[in-house]
Amino acid sequence: GENVEQHPSTLSVQEGDSAVIKCTYSDSASNYFPWYKQELGKRPQLIIDIRSNVGEKKDQRIAVTLNKTAKHFSLHITETQPEDSAVYFCAASIGNNDMRFGAGTRLTVKP
Amino acid sequence: NAGVTQTPKFQVLKTGQSMTLQCAQDMNHNSMYWYRQDPGMGLRLIYYSASEGTTDKGEVPNGYNVSRLNKREFSLRLESAAPSQTSVYFCASSGLASGDEQFFGPGTRLTVL
């Protein structure tokens, strides 16, 4: 089955700096790659997703890039703010079933 | 529109006891999922149901059973709870109208003593 690895496990940045989180996946058939944000004690919420027919997607301060050949995808957050502090999870799946998640990255944005 | 709801919010069981976690969604979604979340391990899929009447195993199905009662409801049963099943359990749903986005419930924190 699919295996997703996520790095780094923790990331601390200064407010206003950029943050980058990277994930790799193993199954070349995977075609859907979402990113979820989870605040402490809350449920995961989708922040951005990308499909395998697209190389990059942006939504305001958040962008995701996908390299199908290398089987890796990355989350980029620019101009970070303290409210960006949370745990971020990447995931990969074929369609939307049997989704596999990375272990998570705890992002801390210091004011 | 409540989205995805789960009951109970918290539960403490003794080893060997059984219980059912309930999940319901009011978004007319076809697909529903059960995950467990353990510290440092992200979310792991237990079972999913792509449509009413079907269920499939995910990454960690052992020790669990599921029932897709109708389009709205998807329950997770622990027949004989073990300490290794101490975790936070999340239910999620997705549908054609939402693309592939999965919407999560608030979670159930389960402790097995």
A30 at interface of B, judged by CB pairs closer than 8 A: no
Other CB atoms closer than 10 Å to residue B97's CB: what's the count? Answer: 10
- Look up residue B60 and give its two tokens: 């960690």
- CB-CB neighbors (< 8 A) of A104 in chain B: 40, 42
> Of B20, B24, B22, B21, which is closest to residue B4 (Cα–Cα)?
B24
A31, A24 contact by CB (below 8 A): no
> Of B41, B18, B20, which is closest to residue B91 (Cα–Cα)?
B20
Q: Do A95 and B100 touch (CB under 8 A)?
A: yes
- Closest approach of chain B CAs to the CA of A101, in angstroms? 6
User: What does each of the 113 residues of chain B score in pLDDT, given as a tens digit?
Assistant: 789 999 999 999 999 999 999 999 999 999 999 999 998 778 999 999 999 989 999 999 999 999 998 999 999 999 999 999 999 999 999 987 666 789 999 999 999 99
Distance CA(B35)–CA(B113), nearest Å, equals 21
User: How many CB pairs (< 8 A) connect A and B?
Assistant: 54
